[in-house]
């Protein structure tokens, strides 16, 4: 009996020993040399300033993945001279149709892009409707504090101030991304990012007959952003929902295959203000048939997302 | 079995605590530097040690102004960063920047995928520290 107790206690003794030996550093498995993995965790008990003593000996290369936000896409649509199309949005009052966490995350991304689009075009009343729906979906996903009463009151007080609303929207989605990752729900964060990009593209590709040439150019360049989105989402643990969405987006990747690119050297110029201007680089071009193929593929994926 | 689970939970708690401290560090020390810019949605923060590197590949859109901020705990020393284009041409080196400025502002004339490489300097100290490093991107039209 006593031997059994000792055997049962072994894992704890071993674990505590390991913890003390590593001095709160990376786990033993992470000591395998120069690591190009995606490790962001440490067993360190950090102080409040974000530092601690480590005993990790081997260096690593941390790979961050990111993608432009729906707010950037919406901004790009407006700058290209396109108009606001309220009929293209997924109705804000449909949020209660989404009852599984996967669907809620997907439509959080959809609504986030709709909200960004409405905010950029200063459709403030529409923005408030979408914020309310996003608050409900966030609550359902257990991250309701990203849109606290305090934040909602701030929105109400600044309902006619586009810049404040843009700040609130981007902070909300940053907090949401951070909270989902922190909660170990990276797959849901991936669904939000991927569906948000799909919705941004859906909004950009409506009413193409009246679309300015600059918008078509910007759509062609989204080939790079799609690459970002796929890289980001593929870095997360693959759940059936995330895999399904990424697989369905393969049709969009195929449509982007028609975009032609020409490689040029990048240029930099330093301004008097101290900032830089970066130009040159690869240029992208797509004919109307390719743009239409992209629009059709996006529409199909988006239709499945909002079901 | 029960003890193993307790052990795993305990170790998991330390990892969660470290992550929480990085979140707190980022909120307190980094996000304020993006004043006037719309922050990108992605939270990119990691606990690094001397000699570590971090990489971020991101598409920057034509017509936007950007602020790229590499925010690190002072215990890691002078963390530097470089920006490369898709062909590996170096466009920016923070070592040529003012030492107290942890960000770079730039305008994009064209849409490009850029790679940011972050370097944590080596140390000769007997006691090695780890600290949070956060890469943030803000934009405005």
Residue among A42, A166, A193 minimizing CB distance to B130: A42
Distance in angstroms (rounded) separating the CA atoms of residues A29 and A31: 5
CB A69 to CB B46 under 8 A? no
Determine contact, residues A266/B85, Cβ cutoff 8 Å.
Answer: yes
- Is the pLDDT at A213 greater than 70? The verdict is yes
- Mean pLDDT taken over chain A: 85
- Decide if pLDDT at A306 tops 50: yes
ipTM of the complex: 0.85
Please give the full DSSP string across chain B, using - where no structure is assigned: -HHHHHHHHHHHHHHHHHHHHHHHHHHHHTGGGGTTSEEPS---EEEE-TT-EEEEEEEE-TT-EEEEEEEE-GGG---EEEEE-TTS-EEEEGGGS-TT--EEEEEESS-EEEEEEEEPPP---SSEEEEEEEEEEEEE-
Q: Given pLDDT bands bounded at 50, 70 and 90, which one contains residue B126?
A: confident
Q: Compare A270 and A191 and report the one with higher pLDDT.
A: A191
Calculate mean pLDDT across residues A162-179. 91
Which of A64, A201, A217, A277 to probe by mutation at the B interface, max B CB count within 10 Å?
A64
Binding-face residues of A in 186-225 toward B, CB within 8 A? 193, 196, 218, 221, 224-225
Angle at A73 between CA B86 and CA A303, to 5 degrees: 110
A263 touches chain B (CB under 8 A): yes
Instruction: Name the residue ranges covered by the structural domains of chain B.
Output: 2-140
What residue segments make up the domains of chain A, in order of their start? 70-305
Q: What is the pLDDT of residue B17?
A: 62
Is the distance from CB of B6 to CB of A15 less than 8 angstroms? Answer: no
Higher pLDDT, B125 or A200: A200
Tell me the pLDDT tens digit for each residue of A258-293. Answer: 999 998 999 999 888 888 999 999 999 999 999 999
Whether residues B57 and A228 touch (CB distance < 8 A) is answered with yes
Chain A residues whose beta carbon lies within 8 Å of the beta carbon of residue B17: 45-46
Report the residue from B25, B44, B64 with minimal CB separation from A49.
Answer: B25
What are A76-86's pLDDT values in tens digits?
999 988 899 99
User: Which of B16, B51, B107 is the closest to A275 by Cβ?
Assistant: B107
Cβ neighbours of B125 (radius 10 Å): 10
pLDDT score, position A6? 46
Residues B14, A43 contacting (CB under 8 angstroms): yes
Are the Cβ atoms of B10 and A15 closer than 8 angstroms? yes
CATH class of the structural domain B2-140: mainly beta
- pLDDT, one tens digit per residue, over A98-150 is 999 999 999 999 999 999 999 999 999 999 999 999 999 999 999 988 888 89
From the list B16, B38, B106, which residue is nearest A278 (CB)? B106
The per-residue pLDDT for range B78-110, each reduced to its tens digit, is: 999 999 999 999 999 999 877 678 899 999 999
Task: Report the 10 Å Cβ neighbour count for B79.
Answer: 22
| Cβ <8 Å between A277 and B46 | no
pTM over 0.90: no
pLDDT over 90 at A1, yes or no: no
Inter-chain residue contact B91 with A278, CB threshold 8 Å? yes
Whether residue A101 lies within 8 A of chain B, CB to CB, comes out as: no
Confidence class for position A94, pLDDT limits 50, 70, 90 = very high
């Amino acid at each position: 009996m006593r031997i059994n107790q000792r055997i049962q206690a072994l894992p704890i003794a071993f674990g505590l020993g390991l913890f003390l030996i590593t001095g709160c550093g990376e786990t033993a498995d992470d000591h395998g040399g120069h690591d190009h993995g995606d490790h962001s965790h440490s067993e360190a008990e950090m102080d409040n300033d974000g530092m601690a003593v480590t005993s990790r000996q081997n260096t690593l290369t941390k790979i961050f993945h990111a993608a432009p936000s729906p707010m950037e896409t919406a901004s790009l649509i407006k700058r290209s001279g396109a108009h606001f199309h309220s009929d293209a949005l997924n109705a804000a009052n449909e949020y209660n149709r989404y009852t599984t966490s996967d669907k809620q995350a997907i439509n959080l991304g959809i609504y986030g892009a709709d909200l960004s689009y409405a905010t950029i075009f200063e459709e403030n009343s529409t923005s408030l409707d979408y914020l309310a729906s996003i608050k409900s979906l966030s609550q359902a996903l257990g991250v309701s504090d990203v849109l606290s009463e305090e934040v909602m009151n701030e929105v109400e007080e600044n309902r006619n101030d586009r810049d404040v609303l843009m700040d609130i929207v981007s902070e909300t989605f940053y907090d949401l991304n951070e909270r989902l990752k922190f909660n170990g729900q990276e797959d849901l964060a991936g669904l939000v990012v991927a569906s948000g990009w799909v919705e941004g593209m859906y909004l950009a590709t409506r009413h193409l007959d009246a679309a300015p040439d600059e918008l078509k150019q910007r759509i062609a360049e989204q080939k790079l952003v799609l690459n970002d989105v796929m890289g980001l989402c593929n870095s997360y643990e693959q759940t059936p929902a995330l895999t399904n969405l990424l697989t369905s987006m393969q049709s969009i990747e195929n449509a982007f295959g028609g975009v032609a690119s020409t490689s040029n050297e990048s240029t930099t110029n330093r301004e008097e203000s101290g900032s830089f201007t970066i130009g040159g680089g690869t240029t992208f071009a797509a004919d109307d048939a390719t743009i239409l193929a992209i629009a059709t593929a996006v529409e199909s994926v988006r239709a499945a997302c909002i079901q | 079995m029960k003890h193993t689970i307790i052990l795993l939970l305990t170790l998991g708690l330390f990892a969660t605590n470290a992550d929480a401290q990085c979140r707190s560090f980022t909120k307190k020390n980094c996000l304020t530097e993006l004043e006037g810019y719309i922050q990108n949605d992605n939270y990119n923060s990691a606990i690094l040690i001397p000699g570590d590197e971090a990489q971020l590949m991101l598409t920057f859109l034509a017509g936007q102004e950007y602020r790229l901020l590499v925010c690190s705990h002072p215990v890691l020393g002078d963390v530097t960063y470089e920006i490369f284009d898709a062909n590996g041409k170096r466009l920016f080196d923070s070592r040529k920047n003012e030492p107290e400025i942890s960000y770079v502002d730039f305008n994009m004339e064209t849409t490009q995928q850029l790679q940011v490489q972050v370097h944590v300097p080596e140390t000769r100290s007997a006691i090695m520290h780890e600290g949070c490093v956060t890469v943030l991107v803000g934009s405005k039209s």
